[in-house]
Chains A and B, each alone.
Chain A
Amino acid sequence: MSMGLEAPIEGSLPGTQALPEFRGETSWEVPKDLIPAQMAALKAKGFTYLVDLTAVDNHGEDPRFEVVYELCDLKRKKHLRIKTKVGEGETLPSVCSIWKTAEWHEREAWDMVGVRFSNHPDLRRILMWEGYPHHPLRKDFPLAGLPTEMPDIAFTAKAPLEGGPFVTNSASLTQDREPRAHPAEERNL
C-alpha cells in the first residue's frame, strides 16, 4: 500500500514544512494563517475529499493545540495529512468554504477541544449541549467529569477503573513504562 506523495512537495506554499514520513504516510506542517490558501490550492490539485479534521491538545506545550486534516485524492489514490499549530485563545481560519464536511468537524473540534475557528457559518457545540462550560477532550479535564450548572447530567461518579491496578496512564504524564498504576491523587489531574 503506497499512500505517500513523492518528494519534493509539489504544490506547497512557502512556509510549508514536510514532517518525517511515518508508516508510509506523508504529513506537512502549515502555518495557521496559510491554511485557507494552502487548502484551496490542494483541493484544486485533486484533494477533493476531506476525510477527517480533528484537534489534539498538547497540554503543557506552546502553542497548545494542533489541528490535523486528513486529505485524500481519490483519482491518484493519495493520502496527505496537514497539521497546524494553534495557541490557546487564538483562532484558526475555517475551511468550510472549501469542503462542506468541515462544518461539522470544526464544530466538533470546538466542542471537544476548544479550538475556535474564524469565518465559520455556525460555530455551535455539536455533541455537548449549548451552554456547557467545558471542553471534555482537553488534557486538564478529568475522566470523571467536572460539575456544571446541571449537576445530574454533567457529573458522573468516579470512573470505576480509576486508580485501580490495571489503569494505564498516559506516557506524557509518566514517562517511565513501569510501574503503570498510579493512584488518582498522584496524577496532576
Chain B
Amino acid sequence: MSTTTLEFGDTLAKTAEMEEVGEKMVLNIGPSHPSTHGVLRLVLELDGEVITKVDTDVGYLHRGDEKIAENMNWNQFVPYTDRLDYMAPLANNVAYACAVEKLMGFELPPRAKVTRVICCELARISAHLLGLGAFAMDVGAMTMFLYTFTEREKIYNLIELLTGARFTTSFTRVGGQTRDIPPGFLEGVTEFCAQFPGRLDEFGSMLNRNRIFVDRTKDLGIIPDDVALDFGLTGPNLRGSGNPYDVRRAFPYLGYETYDFEVPVGSTGDCYDRFAVRMEEMRQSILILRQAVAKMPGGAWQVHDPKNVLPAKDKVLTKMEELIHQFLVVTQGPDAPVGEVYFGAENPKGELGFYLNSRGGGVPHRLKIRAPSFCNLSILNHLLPGHTVSDVPAILGSFDFVMGECDR
C-alpha cells in the first residue's frame, strides 16, 4: 500500500483556460434593494463572483429641487431642504439658512449661532446612529439597528421639543429660527449628553471586536486619500482615508472655531475606518453639545432687519408697522442683493454646499446644491471592480449615503 499526496498548489489561481472561457454576466442591483438604502441602481458586470465593471445609475428620486427653488422666495425653500438628507433635516436647514445669510450679509446674534450648533450636532448624532445601525444590519448584526433607534428616539423627542416636528423640521429662516429655544430643552440636551457616551461604549463593545463585523469590513473597499479627494469625497468617507478636511475646521462658520473638539481620521481608508470615524465623531459631537449648552448666551435669537426678517408675533398683533413687515416678509420674502456666494457646511454625510446666484429680488436666479452623497457615490464605478458581490452591501453601508440628497 502506498499513499499519494495530492498537490493543489494555489487553489485560487486562474489557469489559462479559465481566462478563455470566462463568460461575463450582468447583474442588476436596485433601484429597490434593501442594501442600496433607497433607490440606487448598480449594474454590475461579473466574472464569476468578481466584479469587473460597474455602472452606477442615480436619479430615481430626482424631484427637481433646484428648479423649484427658482420659483419661490428664499424662505419658502426651507421645507425642501428637509428632504435632501432626510436623516438630518436640522443640519440641512442650518446650512441653507447660513448660505442665504451669507448672500444677505447678515451676522447672526450669538444666541442664534449656539442654537444652530446644537441643531447641527444633534442632527449629526442622529444621522450617524442611523448610518451605523443600517451598516451593521447590512453585514449581519441585526440587533444594532434596534439599539441605535432607541437612541434616535431620544433625539427625536428633543427635536420635537425644539421645532414642533419630529422629522421634517423646517426650523430655520433667513436671519434666525422660527422660534427661540423652549424651556426645558437645554436640560434635555444635558441629560442626553450624560447618558449617551455609555450607550456608545455599549455599541462599540458589540461591534469593535466582533469577528464577523471585523472580517467583513477590515481591508475592504480601501480608498487612498488622494483618490478620495480626487473624486470629491467629503465627510467621514474622506476622513476615513486619513485626510483631515472638515469644513468646521477649514472654513469655520457659526463660531465653530471657539469649540474644543478633535477631528478623527482613519489610517487605511477601509470600511472599518469609515465606521470608526463615525463612532468617534459622535463622541466629539457630545463634547460640542456640552460646550454649547454651557455657553448659551441670552439676548436676541434673530437678526434685526425688519424688512427681511419676521417680527415678533406679539408685536404683529398690536403694532401697525410690524404687521406691514410681517405681510411683506411672508408674501415677498427677503430682498436679496445681486451677487453670488458659495457656502459649504459640514453635514453628517459630508460637505453640503449651496451655490446661490441672485439677480436681486425675492428668488434665486440659480440655486445649486452641492450634495455630498452625489460626490461620494461617484467613486463606486472606480472602487467596486475587483471586489466580490458579497462585498457590495458592506461597501455601500460604509458609505452611508442618502438618495434624497444625491438625486435632489
Contacts and interface: CB of A to CB of B under 8 A. Distances in A.
Contacts of A3: 251
Report the interface size class on chain A.
Answer: 35 or more
A1 interface: yes
A99 B342 contact: no
B335 interface: yes
Given A77-B250, A103-B378, A128-B59, A172 B370 contact: no
A150 interface: no
Contacts of B375: 101, 104
A34 B330 CA distance: 45
A101 B182 CA distance: 43
Contacts of B333: 168
A23 B341 contact: yes
A52 B363 contact: no
Given A51-B351, A77-B251, A171-B359, A25 B341 contact: yes
Contacts of A129: 59
Interface stretch (B118-126, B212-220, B227-235, B287-295): B227-235
Interface residues of B, number: 56
B224 interface: no
Interface string A77-121: 101010000000000000000011101110010001000000000
B251 A79 contact: yes
Interface string B63-77: 010111011110010
Interface in A151-189: 159, 161-162, 165-172, 174, 177-178, 180
B357 interface: yes
B72 A101 contact: no
A170 B67 CA distance: 12
Contacts of B363: 168-171
Nearest to A113: B366
A154 to B, nearest CB: 12
Contacts of B374: 104, 108
Given A1-B253, A168-B362, A171-B360, A70 B342 contact: yes
A22 B339 contact: yes
Nearest to B245: A74
A167 B332 contact: no
A153 B359 CA distance: 32
A18 interface: no
Interface in B220-259: 227, 229-232, 243, 245, 250-253
A136 interface: yes
A56 interface: yes
Contacts of A125: 59
B251 A180 contact: no
A23 B58 contact: no
A128 B378 CA distance: 16
Nearest to B377: A104
A104 B342 contact: no
A54 B72 contact: no
A99 B362 contact: no
A166 B76 CA distance: 10
B88 to A, nearest CB: 20
B101 to A, nearest CB: 10
Given A101-B378, A127-B62, A180 B365 contact: no
B402 to A, nearest CB: 15
Interface in B327-367: 330-333, 335, 339-342, 344, 351, 353, 355, 357, 359-363, 365-366
B103 to A, nearest CB: 7
B67 A51 contact: no
B138 interface: no
Given A27-B340, A51-B370, A161-B72, 4 more contacts: A99-B230, A128-B59, A162-B71, A171-B365
